[in-house]
C-alpha cells in the first residue's frame, strides 16, 4: 500500500489533508475546494472547484480540460473517468499525449437535472447521478431516465450490502436497483454517507446519524453541526471521522459517544475517505 | 492635466502619476515606461514579495491566483530585457513550478489561460508543466479556450458584459496577447477582441461614465460617476476630465505601456454628442447552475445617448427566482457630474440564499451565509445593485418603464429609487420633475412612495424614494433643457393622464405617451409595445447603432463614423459548434 492508499484523506474548502494517528497534515499546495476524493487501487482523484486532479505525493496532475470545472464527484474506471459537476455529467479519457478530453452527457437537460452532486456506477453500462432535481440513470444506449427519487436534491450515494443509499435534502433513501426508491429516514438534509460492515453513517444538517440496518436510525453526535462528510474505518468500525461545514474535522473511537476536534483541519470539510476505501 | 487631447498625452500624465507610487506588478509597468532609474530593483522587490508567496490569511489563499500569474507574465513579456535576472528567474520558477488557481469567473479564466499561454510559449525548454501535463498539451488547451471564448463573444456577445468593475480584466489580457503571443492567429484575434471590448465602452460612453446596464457593477458604487477598471481605460482611450484616482489606478498600468492602441474611430464615436444615438446590443446569457427550470435567455441592451444625458436599460434574460446576480445593474440614467450627483437608478433589494447558489456551486444551505459573511453589503436593504427577478422594463429612446411585481412575502417588499441631492426636484402628486442643470427628467411613480435619505460612508449619498408594495414601478423620461425652458414649463408638458395606470392592477399593464408623442405600453410578463408594435427582442442583432452593426453569429462587426470605417472580422464559421462556457460570466 502506498502512503496515499494507507491514509485517511480529507477534502476541505482549502485543499486535501491526510489524517491518522500521527496527526493531520496538508497534502500538496492546492488550497481550493475539494468536493470529493475517489481512491482506487491505482490512483487518487480529487474533484475540485477548479476541475479534476490526480493526487500524488509530488506534483498534482491535471485531469480536466477547458470544459470541466466545478467537479462535485468522480468515478474512476481506469481508462475512463466519469465526472459529476455543476454543469452536468461528463466522460473523460486521457489520450496518449496526456491530455484528458471530456464528452458531456447532460448539456440538453434542464438546469436542475444537470447540476449533479454525486455519481455512482450501477453496472458496466449505467451510471446513477444524484442531481438537484433528484436521481437519474444514464445508459449508453438508453440515455437519461429519471428514477422515482425526484423533487429533492440528492447529494450523496453509497452502496451498502445489496442496497444503494442516497442522501437527499429530505433524508435518506434506499433502492435495490437505482430506479425505485424508498424512504429510509425522513429528516434533515443529508450531505455525506459512509458504509462499513454493519455500520451506516450519515452526515446531516444536524449532526451524525447511525444505522445498523438502513431502517432504524439514531443520532450519533455533533448535533447542531452541518456535517459535510463522514468516514468509517474498514478495520475498526468504531473509528469514525466527521467533518463540519463549517466546523472542521472531528474523530471518535467509540461510535460517536465522544468526539474530539482536530484543530489542524479547521476549515469546512466536504469529503472523507478511509484507508483502503475504494469509492 | 485635465485637457489632454491625445492618447499619448494622457498616457504620459498617468504614467508620471503612477510611477512614484508603483507597488504592484501592474503598476510596475510605469517604472519602466518612465525610465525610472530604480525600475529594475523596485520591480524585483515587487515581484519577489508578491508573487508566489503563500500566507495564512484567507485572502492570501489566492496568492497564486490568476491576477498574479497574469500580472507577472504581462510584466515579463513587456519588460524582460530590462528586468534583473533574479526577477526573471523568480517568475519562471513560479509559472512552471507553483500550483495555479484558474478561478471561477470569465475574467479569471481569461487571465489564467493568457498567463499560461504566454509562459508556455516562452519556456520552451520546460517539458512538464506545473500541472503535470506536457507543456504542449497545456499550451493547446490555453489556445483552444482563448480562441474559443473570442469566437463565442464575436458570435453571441460577451458573457461578463460591459462590467465597469471587470471590463479592464478582459481588455488587458487581450492586449497582452495582441502584443506578445507568438501564435499569429491568437495575436490577430486578441487584438481585434481588445478593439471590440473597447468599442463596447465607446458606444455607451458618456463624458467619463459608462451608462446603462452592466453585468457587474462595483459593489455599492453605482451612484458613482467613475467606477472600476473601466474608468481608467475610458480616460486613457477617450479622454475627458481627469477627476479621480480610479482613472489612474495601477491595475490598468499595463495598458499604458502597451504597444496596442485602439483605432481612433472609437475615440471619435465615444465623444460624438452631436446627435442622439440609440445603441442596441445583444450579450450572452449568464450560466445558471440550479434553482430554475430554464437557462437564462440572451441579454438585450438599449442605451439612448443625448447631448446631456444617457439612459440605458436591459432585458436581463433571467429565468426567474431565485436567479438574481449579486452585482448586475439593469438600468440607469447617467449624466456628467460629481460622485452621487449624476445618476438615477432603482433596485429591488432582492435577498434569497438561492441567488448565491444559483451561480456558485457551494451548498445552498451554506452559501446564504458564507458569501455575504465576507461581503455583507450584498444583503443590504439599501442596495442599489444586484438584480431582482421581479424587475422588468422597456425603453424607447429617452423614455423607459420599469415595473416590479414583488411577492407579498418578500423580505424587502419595496423598491429603492435613488435621486441625487443636487438636482432640483418638484413633486406634483405621483409626478417628480427634476432639473439637473443640464436637462430635465420626469419620473412618474407607480405605487405608494416615501422619501428617505441614504448615506453609507462614501459609497452612497442621496435621496431614496422607496416605492412600497407588491406592484410598483416608475416611468421615466429625460429631455434636453433647451427643449422646454424652465422646470415649470417642462412639468406643464405632461398631462396627468400621460401615464395610464388604469390596467396596472388587473392586467399589470402601463401605458405612456412620450414627449415626442410615441405611445408605449408595457405588460409585466407580456408584450412591450411602441405605437402598437411589439419590440422584437428575438430579432435583436449583436450590435445595432448608427456607428456599429453586426449580425448575430456572423463574427463581423462594422463601425462607421464621419467617413471613417473599421471592420473586425473574427473569421467565424457559423456552423461550428462553440466551446461550452463553463464559468460565471
Same domain, B110 and B162: yes
Q: Does B135 touch chain A (CB under 8 A)?
A: no
Say what the pLDDT of residue B1 is: 38
The number of folded domains in chain A is 1
Q: Is residue B80 part of a domain?
A: yes
Instruction: Confirm if B419 and B434 have CB atoms less than 8 A apart.
Output: yes
Query: Would you state the pLDDT for residue B165?
Result: 93
Together in a domain, B85 and B152: yes
Closest by alpha carbon to B387, among B465, B313, B494, B444? B313
Higher confidence at residue B569 or residue A40?
A: B569
The answer to the question of residue B129 being in a domain is yes
Q: What's the mean per-residue pLDDT of chain A? A: 94
Residue where a domain terminates, one of B474, B497, B520 = B497
Nearest CA in chain B to A68: B582
DSSP secondary structure of chain A: --TTTTSEEEEETTEEEEEETTEEEEESS--S-EEEEEE-SS-EEEEETTEEEEE-SSS-EE---TT--SEEEEEE-SS-EEEEETTEEEEEEE-TTS-EEEEES-TTS-HHHH-EEEEEE-SSSEEEEEETTEEEEEETTTEEEEEEEESS-EEEEEEETTEEEEEETTEEEEESSSSSEEEEEESS-EEEEEEETTEEEEEETTEEEEESSSS-EEE-S-TTS-EEEEEE-SS-TT-EEEEETTTEEEEESSTTSS-EEETT--S-EEEEE-TT---
Judgement on whether residues B310 and B431 belong to the same structural domain of the protein:
yes
Q: Is residue A232 part of a domain?
A: yes
- How many C-beta atoms lie closer than 10 Å to residue B541's C-beta? 16
* Mutation target among A65, A66, A116 for the B interface, most CBs of B within 10 A: A66
Query: Which pLDDT belongs to residue B2?
Result: 46
Q: What is the CA radius of gyration of chain B?
A: 24
Same domain, B267 and B304: no
Classify residue B173: in a domain, yes or no.
Answer: yes
Residue B527 belongs to some domain of the structure: no
Same domain? For B48 and B129 the reply is yes
Minimal CA–CA distance to B324: which of B383, B388, B269?
B388
Q: Looking at residue A208, what is its pLDDT?
A: 98
**Domain membership flag for residue B583:** no
Contacts (Cβ under 8 Å, ≥6 apart) of B573: none
Whether B311 and B456 share a structural domain: yes
Task: Give the residue numbers spanning the domain of B153.
Answer: 7-271
Higher-confidence residue: A146 or B56?
A: A146
Q: How many angstroms separate the most distant Cα atoms in chain B? A: 76
Q: For A197-235, how does the pLDDT look when each residue is reduced to its tens digit (9 = 90+)?
A: 889 999 999 999 999 999 999 999 999 999 999 999 988
Among A57, A97, A111, the strongest candidate for a mutation testing the B interface, having the largest count of B CBs within 10 A, is A111
CB-based contact B134 A97, cutoff 8 Å: yes
Q: Cα(B258)–Cα(B260) distance, rounded to whole angstroms?
A: 5
Q: Does any domain span residue B237?
A: yes
Residues of B in contact with A70 (CB under 8 A): 104, 289, 361, 582
Looking at residue A198, what is its pLDDT? 87
**Is B191 a member of any domain?**
yes
Cβ contacts of B136 on chain A, cutoff 8 Å: 97
Whether residues B234 and B355 fall in one domain: no
Query: Could you tell me the pLDDT band of residue A279, with boundaries at 50, 70 and 90?
Result: low
Q: What is the model's pLDDT at position B157?
A: 98
Q: Are B337 and B445 in a shared domain?
A: yes
Q: The pTM is what? A: 0.96
B311 lies in the same domain as B353: yes
Neighbour count for residue B319 (Cβ, 10 Å): 18
Q: Please give the Cα distance from A218 to B495 (Å, whole number).
A: 71
Residues of B with Cβ-Cβ distance to A68 under 8 angstroms: 582
Please give the C-alpha separations between residue B199 and each of A124, B110, B341, in angstroms, as whole numbers.
Answer: 53, 19, 26
Tell whether A4 is covered by a domain.
Answer: no
Give the count of Cβ contacts less than 8 A between chain A and B: 111
Q: Are residues B156 and B201 in the same domain?
A: yes
Nearest to B133 among A62, A69, A87 (CB): A62
Nearest C-alpha in A relative to B290: A112
Position A270 in a domain: yes
Closest Cβ opposite residue A115 in set B145, B289, B293:
B289
Q: Find chain A residues with C-beta within 8 A of B98's C-beta.
A: 29
Note whether residue A26 is domain-resident. no
Residue A91 lies in a domain: no
A179-193 pLDDT, tens digit per residue, is 999 999 999 999 999
One domain, residues B202 and B238: yes
Q: Are residues B476 and B386 in the same domain?
A: yes
Domains of chain B: total: 2
Q: Report if residue A219 sits inside a domain.
A: yes
Please, which residues 51-90 of chain A have a Cβ atom closer than 8 Å to chain B?
A: 51, 54, 56, 59-62, 65-70, 72, 86-87
User: Nearest C-alpha of chain B: how many angstroms from A100?
Assistant: 10
Give the pLDDT of residue B366.
84
Sort strands A134-139 and B519-523 into parallel, antiparallel or unpaired. unpaired
For residue A258, is it within any domain?
A: yes
Q: Which three cell numbers stand for residue B126?
A: 520546460
Task: Tell me the average pLDDT across A44-60.
Answer: 90
Instruction: Return the pLDDT at A58.
Output: 75
Q: Which of A29, A68, A98 sits opposite B99 (nearest CB)?
A: A29
In tens digits, chain B (585 residues) has pLDDT values of 345 789 999 999 999 999 999 999 999 999 999 999 999 999 999 999 999 876 655 444 445 789 999 999 999 999 999 999 999 999 999 999 988 989 999 999 999 999 999 999 999 999 999 999 999 999 999 999 999 999 999 999 999 999 999 999 999 999 999 999 999 999 999 999 999 999 999 999 999 999 999 999 988 899 998 899 999 999 999 998 888 888 899 999 999 999 999 999 999 999 999 999 999 999 998 889 999 999 999 999 999 999 999 999 999 999 999 999 999 999 999 999 999 999 999 999 999 889 999 998 888 888 888 888 888 999 999 999 999 999 999 999 999 999 999 999 999 999 999 999 999 999 999 999 999 999 999 999 999 999 999 999 999 999 999 999 889 999 999 999 998 889 999 999 999 999 999 999 999 999 999 999 999 999 999 999 999 999 999 999 999 999 999 999 999 999 999 999 999 999 999 999 999 999 986
Q: Residues A158-173: pLDDT tens digits?
A: 999 999 999 999 999 9
Domain that holds residue A228: 190-279
B563: left (phi over 0), alpha (psi -120 to 50) or beta: left
Is residue B148 assigned to a domain? yes
Which helix (H) or strand (E) segment holds residue B192: the answer is: helix B184-203
**A215 within a domain of the structure (yes/no):** yes
Q: Which of A115, A43, A36 is nearest to A78 (CA)?
A: A43
Amino acid at each position: 500500500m502506498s502512503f496515499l492508499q494507507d491514509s485517511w484523506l480529507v477534502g476541505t474548502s482549502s485543499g486535501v489533508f491526510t489524517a491518522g494517528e500521527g496527526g493531520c497534515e496538508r497534502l500538496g499546495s492546492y488550497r481550493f475546494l475539494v468536493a470529493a476524493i475517489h481512491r482506487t487501487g491505482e490512483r487518487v482523484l480529487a474533484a475540485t472547484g477548479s476541475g479534476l486532479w490526480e493526487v500524488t505525493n509530488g506534483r498534482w496532475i491535471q485531469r480536466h480540460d477547458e470544459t470541466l470545472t466545478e467537479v462535485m464527484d468522480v468515478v474512476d474506471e481506469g481508462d475512463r473517468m466519469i465526472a459529476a459537476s455543476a454543469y452536468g455529467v461528463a466522460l473523460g479519457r486521457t489520450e496518449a499525449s496526456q491530455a484528458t478530453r471530456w464528452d458531456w452527457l447532460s448539456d440538453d437537460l434542464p438546469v436542475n437535472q444537470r447540476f449533479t452532486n454525486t455519481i455512482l456506477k450501477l453496472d458496466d453500462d449505467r451510471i446513477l447521478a444524484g442531481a438537484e432535481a433528484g436521481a437519474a440513470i444514464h445508459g449508453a444506449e438508453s440515455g437519461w431516465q429519471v428514477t422515482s427519487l425526484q423533487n429533492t436534491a440528492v447529494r450523496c450515494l453509497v452502496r451498502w450490502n445489496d442496497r444503494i443509499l442516497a442522501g437527499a435534502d429530505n433524508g435518506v433513501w434506499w433502492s435495490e436497483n437505482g430506479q425505485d426508491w424508498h424512504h429510509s429516514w425522513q429528516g434533515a438534509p443529508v450531505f455525506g454517507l459512509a458504509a462499513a460492515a454493519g455500520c451506516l453513517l450519515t452526515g446531516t444538517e444536524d449532526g451524525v446519524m447511525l444505522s445498523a440496518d438502513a431502517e432504524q436510525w439514531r443520532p450519533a453526535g455533533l448535533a447542531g453541526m452541518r456535517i459535510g462528510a463522514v468516514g468509517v474505518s474498514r478495520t475498526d468500525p468504531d473509528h469514525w471521522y466527521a467533518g463540519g461545514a463549517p466546523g472542521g474535522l472531528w474523530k471518535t473511537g467509540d461510535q460517536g459517544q465522544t468526539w474530539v476536534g482536530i484543530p489542524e483541519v479547521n476549515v469546512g470539510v466536504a469529503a472523507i475517505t478511509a484507508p483502503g476505501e475504494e469509492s | 492635466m485635465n485637457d489632454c487631447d491625445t492618447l499619448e498625452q494622457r498616457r504620459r500624465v498617468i504614467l508620471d502619476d503612477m510611477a512614484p507610487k508603483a507597488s504592484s506588478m501592474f503598476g510596475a509597468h510605469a517604472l519602466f515606461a518612465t525610465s525610472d532609474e530604480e525600475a529594475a530593483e523596485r520591480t524585483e522587490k515587487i515581484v519577489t514579495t508578491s508573487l508566489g508567496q503563500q500566507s495564512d490569511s484567507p485572502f492570501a489563499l489566492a496568492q497564486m491566483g490568476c491576477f498574479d500569474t497574469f500580472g507577472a507574465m504581462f510584466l515579463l513579456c513587456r519588460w524582460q530585457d530590462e528586468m534583473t535576472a533574479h526577477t526573471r528567474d523568480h517568475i519562471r520558477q513560479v509559472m512552471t513550478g507553483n500550483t495555479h488557481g484558474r478561478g471561477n469567473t470569465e475574467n479569471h479564466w481569461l487571465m489564467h489561460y493568457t498567463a499560461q499561454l504566454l509562459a508556455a510559449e516562452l519556456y520552451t525548454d520546460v517539458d512538464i508543466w506545473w500541472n503535470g501535463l506536457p507543456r504542449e498539451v497545456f499550451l493547446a488547451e490555453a489556445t483552444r479556450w482563448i480562441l474559443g471564448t473570442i469566437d463565442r463573444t464575436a458570435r453571441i456577445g460577451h458573457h461578463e458584459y460591459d462590467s465597469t468593475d471587470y471590463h479592464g480584466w478582459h481588455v488587458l489580457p487581450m492586449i497582452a496577447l495582441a502584443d506578445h503571443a507568438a501564435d499569429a492567429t491568437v495575436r490577430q484575434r486578441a487584438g481585434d477582441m481588445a478593439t471590440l471590448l473597447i468599442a463596447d465602452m465607446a458606444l455607451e460612453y458618456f463624458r467619463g461614465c459608462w451608462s446603462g446596464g452592466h453585468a457587474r457593477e462595483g459593489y455599492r458604487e453605482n451612484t458613482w460617476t467613475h467606477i472600476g477598471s473601466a474608468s481608467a481605460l475610458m480616460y486613457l482611450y477617450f479622454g475627458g476630465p481627469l477627476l479621480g484616482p480610479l482613472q489612474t489606478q495601477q491595475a490598468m498600468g499595463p495598458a499604458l505601456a502597451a504597444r496596442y492602441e485602439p483605432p481612433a474611430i472609437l475615440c471619435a464615436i465615444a465623444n460624438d454628442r452631436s446627435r442622439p444615438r440609440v445603441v442596441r446590443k445583444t450579450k450572452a446569457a449568464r450560466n445558471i447552475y440550479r434553482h430554475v427550470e430554464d437557462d437564462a435567455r440572451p441579454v438585450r441592451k438599449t442605451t439612448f445617448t443625448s447631448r446631456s444625458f444617457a439612459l440605458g436599460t436591459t432585458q436581463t434574460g433571467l429565468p426567474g427566482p431565485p436567479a438574481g446576480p449579486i452585482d448586475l445593474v439593469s438600468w440607469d440614467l447617467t449624466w456628467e457630474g460629481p460622485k452621487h450627483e449624476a445618476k438615477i437608478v432603482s433596485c429591488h433589494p432582492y435577498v434569497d440564499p438561492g441567488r448565491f447558489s444559483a451561480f456558485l456551486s457551494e451548498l445552498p444551505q451554506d452559501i446564504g451565509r458564507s458569501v455575504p459573511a465576507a461581503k455583507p453589503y450584498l444583503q443590504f436593504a439599501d442596495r442599489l445593485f444586484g438584480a431582482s427577478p421581479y424587475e422588468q422594463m422597456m425603453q424607447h429612446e429617452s423614455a423607459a418603464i420599469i415595473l416590479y411585481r414583488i411577492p407579498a412575502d418578500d423580505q424587502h417588499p419595496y423598491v429603492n429609487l435613488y435621486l441625487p441631492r443636487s438636482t432640483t426636484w418638484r413633486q406634483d402628486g405621483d409626478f417628480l420633475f427634476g432639473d439637473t442643470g443640464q436637462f430635465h427628467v420626469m419620473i412618474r411613480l407607480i405605487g405608494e412612495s416615501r422619501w428617505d435619505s441614504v448615506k453609507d460612508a462614501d459609497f452612497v449619498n442621496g435621496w431614496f424614494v422607496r416605492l412600497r408594495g407588491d406592484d410598483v414601478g416608475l416611468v421615466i423620461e429625460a429631455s434636453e433643457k433647451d427643449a422646454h425652458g424652465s422646470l415649470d414649463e417642462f412639468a406643464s408638458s405632461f398631462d396627468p393622464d400621460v401615464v395610464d395606470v388604469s390596467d396596472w392592477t388587473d392586467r399589470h399593464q402601463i401605458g405612456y405617451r412620450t414627449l415626442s408623442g410615441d405611445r408605449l405600453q408595457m405588460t409585466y410578463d407580456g408584450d412591450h409595445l411602441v405605437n402598437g408594435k411589439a419590440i422584437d427582442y428575438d430579432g435583436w442583432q449583436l450590435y445595432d447603432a448608427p456607428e456599429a452593426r453586426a449580425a448575430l453569429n456572423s463574427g463581423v462587426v462594422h463601425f462607421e463614423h464621419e467617413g471613417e470605417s473599421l471592420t473586425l472580422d473574427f473569421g467565424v464559421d457559423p456552423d461550428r459548434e462553440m466551446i461550452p462556457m463553463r464559468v460565471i460570466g
